[in-house]
Amino acid sequence: MGGERAAYWAVVKPLILDVDTGLDDACAILFAAQHPGLDLRAVTCVGGNAPVDDVVRNTLIVLRAAGRDDVLVARGADRPLLEPAMNARHVHGDDGMGDLAWPAPDRAADPRHAVELLRDLLVSAVDDPITLVTLAPMTNIALLLRTHPEVAAGLREIVFMGGSVAVGNATASAEFNVYHDPEAAAIVLDAAAHLGIPVTMYGLDVFYEPVVSRAEAAELVAVGGYSSAELAGRLIAYQCDRFVSETATIGDAGAVCAVADPEGLQCQALPIRVELAGSWSRGRTIVDRRDWSGDIDHDPHGVAPLTVTVGLQVDGPRYAALWRRIVAGDR
């Protein structure tokens, strides 16, 4: 198995994460930072689950636990494009990462704004394009693509955790990341259509499926030493306690698993728009699943300009097992 695994990860994918760390963002960073098939170049931060300065601190803490102080971290937008800032402390704790009292980071973020760091890395990546995985409101990415469209040449794809086909969580209709800054999400989709950037949506339809049990979390915690494994286990245990459950989702980390192991995600190419106006539906991703041209031809709105690869089903146990193995240090 070891030889097969080494061969499988022979092709390494360059990666940047955009995060609002966040319990499940932390799970995703731990995975991306240590997976042998992923070359994590940078993590950019935006206000979302927590205020942006908390997000930066949390991100630096997670990278230290993963042994990846070499990964660049940059502070980005502190609020949505139009709306006041929100947070999700009711889910993620007062510090945004489970109030674990983990040791504070001993390094600072890169002095560049997140948009500047993204620009610098992507314009130099034309010969080896980078996958950008967004696990947060897409404010930074909207600013990037509108001000520096030339970065498209260095983007292999955008994979975003956000939206849904069928359900919401921030509202009955909308998923949190898109609802937090729907204008930014709409701008990113529009820019991707204009610039020819492939986009994959890892939404709520698959988000909750990869889960880790309380017992599995305890095994990770037992490793100790302020390690990646211990932090991963404590993140899961916090969620189990918060939601009074014997399991917890790895959440955003599933989107990064889909980059590392795309065969675990079943997708369909579908047109998508973001609702910006509705009283009850603002922030909803409108996913067009119609299959009769008669309806489409007579739609006064026409078809959405961007077709997105939408995750509809996921092998949850497969991704959960992969995540546990990587964060525990078994590569």
Q: What is the DSSP letter of 226?
A: T
Q: Are 25 and 136 in contact (CB under 8 A)?
A: yes
User: How confident is the model at residue 330, as a pLDDT?
Assistant: 75
Q: Are 85 and 181 in contact (CB under 8 A)?
A: no
- The 3-state DSSP class for residue 326 equals helix
Within-domain flag for 242: yes
Within-domain flag for 16: yes
Task: Kindly give, in sequence order, each residue whose CB lies less than 8 Å from that of residue 222, ignoring residues fewer than 6 positions away.
Answer: 230, 233
- With 0-12 / 13-18 / 19 or more C-beta atoms within 10 angstroms meaning exposed / middle / buried, residue 110 is middle
User: What's the number of domains the chain is made of?
Assistant: 1
Strand 285-287's sheet: what is its strand order?
Answer: 72-75, 38-45, 13-19, 130-134, 155-161, 199-202, 307-314, 265-274, 285-287
Residue 33 to residues 74, 148, 153, 255, 260, Cα–Cα distance (Å): 16, 27, 24, 14, 12
User: How confident is the model at residue 22, as a pLDDT?
Assistant: 87
Within-domain flag for 5: no
Instruction: Please give the Cα distance from 282 to 170 (Å, whole number).
Output: 11
Instruction: Please give the Cα distance from 150 to 284 (Å, whole number).
Output: 29
What angle (nearest 5°) sits at the alpha carbon of residue 66, between those of residues 132 and 248?
Answer: 75
User: How confident is the model at residue 298, as a pLDDT?
Assistant: 60
Residue 77, domain extent: 12-327
Q: Which amino acid is at 266?
A: Q
CATH of the domain at 290: 3.90.245.10
Q: Are 258 and 30 in contact (CB under 8 A)?
A: no
Quote the pTM value: 0.94
Residue 184 to residues 62, 148, 282, Cα–Cα distance (Å): 26, 15, 13
Taking 70 as the pLDDT cut, the residues of the chain under it are 1-10, 292-298, 331
Instruction: Please give the Cα distance from 259 to 212 (Å, whole number).
Output: 20
Within-domain flag for 25: yes
Within-domain flag for 135: yes
Extract the tokens encoding 82: 């139009």
Within-domain flag for 3: no
Within-domain flag for 56: yes
Within-domain flag for 2: no
Q: Are 176 and 170 in contact (CB under 8 A)?
A: yes
Summarised one tens digit per residue, pLDDT across range 261-288 is 999 999 999 999 999 998 899 999 999 8
Query: What are φ and ψ of residue 291, in 5° steps?
Result: -125, 10
